């Protein structure tokens, strides 16, 4: 983890490389949303996990998505990352309406989600997990075989660059890594594949105080490289220090959407603690 931030400087973001993704106004204030959620609702039977949520996310900004347990944060990012389709409403990526929701589609669009409990298959090696879903191939008689040399070399470099134990062998099953190491590995995988959007779902769980500081620094650097970073957390004080904008969800509804400077962390905490009650009008930045 110690090496993540220094390593990051050497990782060019896809958006920076192409220079075509979205528009950024002078001073870094974007005008075209990279992801636009419009009136999205999601129900599981009679239970409404999300109700009429609309929120825009812009390239080059770090958005804190905050809320209590069951607020709908994870549900929202699962929709964005294609894991579940919304019951109603629309999602736009780079101005294009998403009609097919599947994680493969999201990954192909350059969206990487680091989730708390999922993302790694314990039975696969470190190297195979690194490339799962986008395995490098070499053709033999026209048939696609795994490029094991590339898998080994690329994943070994990541393991080394991101400061995992020297004893970690990329051929070992990932189950042998500790919780913190797995989290670091997921972050490393998300960063090194040159994405446009990084979603971090409670990324500092399982991490030490020092490692948390590094993750936060990493989120800032990704933003500076032009990526959209959506950072999900319970910790309003932590996210208030680094985010450009804070979006608060409560009981599946968006209750607050403000630039960081507009409200203090204490005031935002009050909203989460006391419940919404107050209409969104007057709290919204937009």
Partner 1 sequence: MRAAIANLVRRHPEAITITLVVLISLTFAIATGGSWLSVGNLQSLSQLTAVLAIMAFGEAIVIATGQIDISVGSVSGIAALTFLGLAPGVGCGLALLAALVSGSLIGVINGVFVALVGIPSLLVTLGTLFLFQGIGYAVTSGFSFAASTLVRKQFTYNAFGGGTAAEINTGVIWALIILVVLQLVVFETPIGNRLLAVGGDAVSSFSRGVNVTRIKFGVFVISGVLAALSGVLDSAFIGYADGSFGVSMELSAIAAAVLGGCHLAGGRISLVGTLLGAFILRGIQSFLIILGVQPQWYVLAVGLIVVLTSLVDRTLTKLALKR
Kindly tell me which of 134 and 241 has the beta carbon lying closer to partner 1: 134
Burial class (CB in 10 A: 0-12, 13-18, 19+), 135: middle
Smallest gap from Cβ 135 to partner 1, in A, equals 4
Tell me the three-class secondary structure of 49-95, residue by residue. Answer: EEEEEEEEEECCCEEEEEECCCCCHHHHHHHHCCCCCCCEEEEEECC
Kindly tell me which of 111 and 219 has the beta carbon lying closer to partner 1: 111
Kindly tell me which of 50 and 151 has the beta carbon lying closer to partner 1: 151
Kindly tell me which of 178 and 264 has the beta carbon lying closer to partner 1: 178
Smallest gap from Cβ 78 to partner 1, in A, equals 9
Kindly tell me which of 120 and 232 has the beta carbon lying closer to partner 1: 120
Smallest gap from Cβ 221 to partner 1, in A, equals 24
Smallest gap from Cβ 178 to partner 1, in A, equals 7
User: Which residues make up the interface to partner 1 (CB under 8 A)?
Assistant: 81, 83, 102-104, 106-108, 113, 115, 118-124, 128, 131-135, 137, 143-146, 148, 171-173, 175-176, 178
Instruction: Give me 133's structure tokens.
Output: 């879903």
Phi, psi of 153 (to 5 degrees): -65, -50
Smallest gap from Cβ 173 to partner 1, in A, equals 7
Burial class (CB in 10 A: 0-12, 13-18, 19+), 187: buried
Do β-strands 111-114 and 62-67 pair in parallel, antiparallel, or remain unpaired? Answer: unpaired
C-alpha–C-alpha distance, residues 62 and 49, integer Å = 24
Kindly tell me which of 168 and 248 has the beta carbon lying closer to partner 1: 168
Smallest gap from Cβ 182 to partner 1, in A, equals 11
C-alpha–C-alpha distance, residues 82 and 178, integer Å = 28
């Amino acid at each position: 983890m110690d090496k993540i931030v220094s390593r990051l400087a050497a990782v060019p973001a896809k958006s920076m490389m192409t220079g075509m993704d979205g528009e950024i106004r002078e001073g870094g204030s974007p005008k075209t949303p990279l992801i636009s959620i419009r009136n999205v609702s999601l129900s599981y039977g009679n239970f409404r996990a999300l109700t009429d949520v609309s929120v825009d996310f812009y390239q080059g900004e770090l958005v804190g998505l905050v809320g209590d347990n069951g607020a709908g944060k994870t549900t929202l990012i699962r929709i964005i990352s294609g894991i579940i389709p919304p019951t109603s409403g629309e999602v736009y990526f780079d101005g294009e309406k998403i009609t097919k929701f599947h994680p493969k589609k999201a990954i192909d669009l350059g969206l990487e989600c680091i989730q708390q409990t999922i993302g790694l298959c314990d039975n696969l090696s470190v190297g195979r997990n690194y490339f799962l879903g986008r395995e490098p191939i070499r053709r033999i008689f026209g048939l696609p075989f795994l490029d094991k040399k590339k898998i080994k070399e690329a994943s070994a470099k990541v393991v080394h660059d991101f400061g995992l134990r020297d004893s970690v062998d990329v051929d070992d099953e990932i189950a042998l890594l500790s919780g913190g190491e797995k989290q670091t590995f997921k972050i490393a995988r998300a960063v090194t594949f040159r994405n446009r959007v990084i979603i971090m779902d409670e990324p500092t769980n399982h991490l030490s105080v020092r490692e948390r500081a590094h993750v936060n620094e990493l989120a800032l650097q990704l933003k500076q490289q032009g990526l959209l970073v959506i950072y999900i957390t319970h910790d309003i004080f932590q996210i208030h220090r680094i985010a450009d904008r804070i979006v608060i969800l409560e009981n599946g509804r968006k209750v607050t959407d403000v630039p960081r400077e507009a409200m203090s962390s204490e005031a935002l905490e009050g909203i989460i603690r006391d419940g919404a009650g107050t209409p969104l009008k007057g709290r919204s930045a937009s």
